[in-house]
């Protein structure tokens, strides 16, 4: 017996939770039916891009500086983890050599006390500036900041919802960035905390009120590089899982 899936609502991720819960019920029914038939579904595996060195955390060959040079010693990759050291070595922002379009990226992160960092995507040059949308990473117990700059915010544009709860410094946090067409979602520890639609009236208003108000078409490019930022704080990343959502 086929179980019909409900149509997803057209609004953002926070209002889609009831639909997702219902979807989970439907999925369970389908899973049970297939199990009885001896045809259990195989979980969808995440896979890296064609440049696997980006996400495995075994080397930094898939990364470079903003001006195209090899990654400085301040950044290290070891045992599946990419991290920024602060012991007198040079770090700086680093970007992927490859560009990415629609994607889902899961990862874990932790930050030093009082730390500030972030992972940017759809990164490109705007004149002499290299900019992109940013998943903000910030010590939740650090210096108070504007809500648009809190952890998991779409930096300077969308504050995370009140349900956003980062774990204490020293503990790993689970993050997810979902980008498809004009839809952007930021997730923190299993909760969708930001939902934005690039180019709609709300997006345009927020950009006009942000530090990007002088950047023409900010964030509207469909492809760009990923960036790990260096804002003077130690930061650690691990367990990257990248899923390409580009149409084949």
Q: What confidence score (pLDDT) does residue 9 get?
A: 53
Per domain, the residue ranges of the chain are 1-43, 52-244
Q: What confidence score (pLDDT) does residue 16 get?
A: 55
pTM reported for the whole predicted model: 0.81
Compute the distance between CA of residue 218 and CA of residue 133 in angstroms, rounded to an integer.
Answer: 8
Q: What confidence score (pLDDT) does residue 24 get?
A: 45
Q: What confidence score (pLDDT) does residue 133 get?
A: 98
pLDDT (tens digit per residue) in 210-223: 999 999 999 999 99
| Higher-confidence position of 9 and 151 | 151
Query: Which DSSP string corresponds to the chain?
Result: ---PPPPPPSS-GGGGHHHHHHHHHHHHHHHHHHHHTT-PPPPPPP---S-GGGTSSS-STTEEETTSPPPPTTEEEETTEEEE--SS-----EEESS-B-SEEEEEEEEE-TT-EEEEEEEEEEETTEEEEEEEEEE-TTSS---GGGSTT-BTTTBPPPTT--PPPTTS-EEEEEEEETTEEEEEETTEEEEEEETTSHHHHHHHHTSTTTTSTTTT--S-BEEEE--SSS-EEEEEEEEEE-S--
Q: What confidence score (pLDDT) does residue 40 get?
A: 34
Q: What confidence score (pLDDT) does residue 117 get?
A: 96
Least confident stretch, 40-49, 98-107, 134-143: 40-49
Q: What confidence score (pLDDT) does residue 248 get?
A: 74
Q: What is the mean pLDDT of the chain?
A: 84
Compute the distance between CA of residue 5 and CA of residue 26 in angstroms, rounded to an integer.
Answer: 7
Give residue 127's pLDDT band: very low, low, confident or very high (50, 70, 90). very high
Tokens for 8, please give them. 């997803």
Half-sphere exposure of 209 (CA within 13 A, CB side): 11
pLDDT (tens digit per residue) in 180-226: 999 999 999 999 999 999 999 999 999 999 999 999 999 999 999 99
Mean pLDDT (whole number) for 19-38: 39
Q: What confidence score (pLDDT) does residue 47 get?
A: 41
Q: What confidence score (pLDDT) does residue 247 get?
A: 85
Give residue 27's pLDDT band: very low, low, confident or very high (50, 70, 90). very low
Q: Please state which CATH number belongs to domain 52-244.
A: 2.60.120.560
Residues contacting 243, CB < 8 A, separation 6+: 44, 46, 47, 103, 104, 105
């Amino acid at each position: 017996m086929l179980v019909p899936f409900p149509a997803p609502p057209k609004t953002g991720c926070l209002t889609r939770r009831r639909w997702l819960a219902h979807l989970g019920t439907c999925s369970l029914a389908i899973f049970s039916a297939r199990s009885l038939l001896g045809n259990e579904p195989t979980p969808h595996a995440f896979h890296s891009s064609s440049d696997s060195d980006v996400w495995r955390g075994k080397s930094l060959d898939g990364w470079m500086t903003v001006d195209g040079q090899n990654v400085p010693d301040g950044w290290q990759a070891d045992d599946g983890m990419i991290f920024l050291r602060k012991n007198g070595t040079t770090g700086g922002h680093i970007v992927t050599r490859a560009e990415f379009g629609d994607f889902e990226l899961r990862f874990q992160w932790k930050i030093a006390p009082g730390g500030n960092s972030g992972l940017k995507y759809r990164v490109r040059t705007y004149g002499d500036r290299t900019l992109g949308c940013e998943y903000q990473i910030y010590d939740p117990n650090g210096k108070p900041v504007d809500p648009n700059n809190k952890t998991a915010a779409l930096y300077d544009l969308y504050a995370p919802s009140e349900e956003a709860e980062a774990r204490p410094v020293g503990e790993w946090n689970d993050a997810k960035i979902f980008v498809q067409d004009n839809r952007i979602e930021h997730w923190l520890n299993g909760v969708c905390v930001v939902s934005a639609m690039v180019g709609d009236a709300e997006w345009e208003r927020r950009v006009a009120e942000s530090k990007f108000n002088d950047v023409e078409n900010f964030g509207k490019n469909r492809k760009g590089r990923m960036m790990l930022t260096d804002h003077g704080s130690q930061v650690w990343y691990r367990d990257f899982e990248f899923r390409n959502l580009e149409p084949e």
